Structure 1
Amino acid sequence: MKAIRINQFGTSENLLVEQTEIQGPAENEVLINLYAAGVNPSDVYTSTGTYAIKPQLPYTPGLDGAGIVEEVGKQVTNVKVGDRVFIASLPNGQATGTIAEKIVCESRFVHPIPAHISFEEGAALGIPALTAYRAVVGRANVQAGQTVFIHGASGAVGLQAVQIAKALGAKVIGTASRESGKQLVKEAGADIVLDHITEQTIDTVLEQTDGKGPNVIIEFLANENLQTDLQMIAKHGVIVIVGNRGEININPRLMMQKECDVRGMVLFNVTAEEHQQLIQEVAKLLEKQQLKPVVGYSYPLEEASVAFDAVINGEHNGKVVVRTQ
């Protein structure tokens, strides 16, 4: 089979299409004929060798994907041969990833996808969907009637966070920097779509919340926005930090005055049991058609390096995927 292989850490030029062998599944594993793979920022960081987790070289990148089950091990009961499935958040650091024509992985990372979800959309689940669900439900505990502000909602995680918050009955305010991104945020179900908020434009959000501020803020660039978030958040509100790229000076007095909570979130902290629960909850939303991933752009396998560059440079709204067939 063909697969992307990384033989040395560095730039995207090190992503090579190679022929490689694949073994049959063990008792608790499945062999999947892959049609699409999701590209996450962590995939790109790992490929540079600067990430906290370093796979043993050479390796095939990719933690999310979608395809058809070709073979199952004797102990596998959750999927069967011929099922259309998505692969959700494989352990980072393993040698065999999803940016390939086939993969063998443990069945616990695999779940059927409904007929109305394409393989490319299925590949856009995984880390983005599980991250969005854990942020909105697990960390923020969003309730019906609350106002949720998603600061940077046009990315893969943000768009799914919008849909999940709306499914819970919340009012959603989302931001984006480009008109194309704003349109996607609106189509995802946001009640109000704005430019990214700065200290000079906080009043815009306060006007939409009767001067109280949002109950929940989902933050994707805390090093730029956390101080503004603290000024916006309602009393007793919750700020969930999903993304950060540096340091920031904040005034803790705002946290005292608001009695708000600032909570961090990293998907890789979840236990195996929590991971399973996240997959099941995401699957329920798919079945109810309350969640539909947005694919920003897809690249052929031979252009995986271009896809990696697009992700790290933020060139597309929505999810970047690689077509593996």
Structure 2
Amino acid sequence: MKAAFLDQPGPPEVIRTGELPTPTPGAGEVLVRVTAASVNPIDTYIRAGLVAMTLPRPFIPGCDLAGVVEAVGAGVKRFHVGDRVWGSNQGLLGRQGTFAEYAAVGEQWLYPTPTNVADEQAAAAALVGITAHLGLFGCAKLHAGDTVFVNGGTGGVGSMVIQMAKAAGARVVTTVGSAEKATLAAELGADAVINYKTDDVAAKVKEAAGGAGITVWYETQPPTDLDRTVELMAPRGRVVVMAGRAARPVFPNGPFYVKGLSLHGFAMFNATPDEQRVCGADLAQWLGQGKIKALIGARFPLADAAKAHALQEENTGKKAGTLTGKIVVLPSV
């Protein structure tokens, strides 16, 4: 099979494309013919060696996939040959990734694809959708009537947070970096959109919250100013953090406990299959109902997997601002 792979961590150029043996599904595994994969920041961190994980050699990167079941291993009960499926959590913790024509995936990491949802959409929504769901519902226990703030409303996770929060009946305040992205965030459902380059963010958040404060703060960026965050929170509000491995912000202990706030941190790949299946079920339902869509900013053939990683890295680490939405890789192209 055609696959994009690397022999050792390094810059995007270590990814090369060639032929590897098609995997045989083991017990509890499903062989998926991959029609769409997508790129996430964690993929670039693992490829660069910034996140230490045991990697098979050669290593195929990629967390997300969508495609069709080609074969099933012993004991598989949930899927059959010909089923359309999607999922995430590949290319992590010793598992091979999805940048290949075929992937052998544990059935616990796969979900049925709704009939009216394109594979590109399912793959692009996978990791970011599960991440948004874990933070909003697993950590923050979001409910109708909450006021949610999320940084970067047109990013992969941020765009999912907006749409999921609206689907749950919450009010959403978000930030963007341009007028074009402000329009897009509003189209996704954001009730108030703040341009962090031109607006006084704190003043605008206070105005948008109507003086009551933010009840759920979903921080998609490395936290730098928890004093400001705590000041903008409503009593008994919940703060969710899921980025910034090296961040060491000052913690305003007094104001935090006096308001009765709670702080929740999580990494998506630490969530159990059962926890993630709840996310996958809601995400698939909302995708099928048209309540959620994945923003796709670029598409690459498998042969250009290194370019796909470079584009992601430029925008995640270097803040190039040249990407809105997810990068999709198409193994069959």
Matches within 5 A, 1:33-182: 33-90=33-90, 92-94=92-94, 96-182=96-182
Distance in 1 separating the partners of 2:93 and 2:232: 38
> Counterparts in 2 of 1:216-227, with a 5 A limit?
216-227=216-227
Where does 1:1-325 land on structure 2 (aligned, <5 Å)? 1-90=1-90, 92-94=92-94, 96-196=96-196, 200-244=200-244, 245-314=246-315, 315-325=322-332
Which shows bigger deviation, 247-256 or 128-137?
Answer: 247-256
Q: Is the 8 A contact 1:175 1:195 kept in 2?
A: yes
What residue ranges of structure 2 are gaps of 5+ in the alignment?
A: 316-321
- The structure 1 segments of at least 4 consecutive aligned residues displaced by more than 6 Å after TM superposition are none
Query: Retained in 2: the 8 A contact 1:175–1:196?
Result: yes
Determine the structure 1 residue equivalent to 2:318: none
Provide the C-alpha distance between the structure 1 equivalents of 2:249 and 2:217, rounded to a whole number of angstroms. 17
Instruction: Evaluate the alpha carbon distance shift between residue 115 and residue 12 of structure 1 in structure 2; reply closer, same or farther with a 3 A threshold.
Output: same
- Quote how far apart the aligned CAs of 1:110 are: 1.4
> 1-side partners of 2:216 and 2:175: how far apart?
14
Matched to 2:161, the amino acid is A
Change (3 A) 1:186 1:176: same
Structure 1 CA distance for aligned equivalents of residues 201 and 126 of structure 2:
34
Deviation (angstroms), 1:200:
4.5
Equivalent pairs, count: 325
Q: Deviations over 1:114-143 (max 9, x none)?
A: 133222111112221111001111111111
**CA distance in structure 2 between the partners assigned to 1:69 and 1:309 by the alignment:** 30
CA RMSD of superposed structures (Å) = 2.0
- Partner letter of residue 148 of structure 2? V
8 Å contact from structure 2 (residues 91, 98) kept in 1: no
CA distance in structure 2 between the partners assigned to 1:189 and 1:220 by the alignment = 18
Deviation of 1:281 (Å): 2.7
**Which blocks of at least 5 consecutive residues in structure 1 are unaligned?**
none
What CA distance in whole angstroms lies between the structure 2 residues aligned with 1:193 and 1:31? Answer: 43
One-letter identity of the residue aligned with 1:66: A
Query: Cα distance, 1:198 vs. partner?
Result: 10
Change (3 A) 1:242 1:183: farther
Identical columns (%): 31
TM-score scaled by length of structure 1: 0.93
1:285 offset after TM fit, Å? 2.4
Contact 1:66 1:86 (8 Å CA) reproduced: yes
Q: Which whole-Å CA distance do the structure 1 matches of 2:55 and 2:227 have between them?
A: 36
**Normalization by structure 2: what TM-score?**
0.91
SS of equivalent to 1:124: helix
Find the residue that maps to 1:234 and give its secondary structure.
strand
Contact 1:186 1:193 survives alignment (8 Å): yes
- Counterpart Cα distance in 2 of 1:243 and 1:223: 8
Deviates more, 1:111-120 or 1:143-152: 111-120
Question: Cα 1:30–1:44, aligned 2, differ >3 Å: closer, same or farther?
Answer: same
Q: What SS does the corresponding residue of 2:100 show, helix, strand or coil?
A: coil
Contact 1:10 1:48 (C-alpha < 8 Å) held by counterparts: yes
CA 1:7 to 1:222, structure 2 compared with 1: closer, same or farther past 3 Å? closer
Q: Provide the C-alpha distance between the structure 1 equivalents of 2:226 and 2:314, rounded to a whole number of angstroms.
A: 22
Give the stretch that moved more between structures: 88-97 or 75-84: 88-97
Q: What CA deviation, in whole Å up to 9, does each residue of 1:4-59 have, x standing for no partner?
A: 11012110000000101113323422111111111111110111122132313321
User: Could you say what secondary structure the match of 2:214 adopts?
Assistant: coil
- SS of equivalent residue, structure 2 residue 82: coil
2: CA distance, partners of 1:251 / 1:278: 32
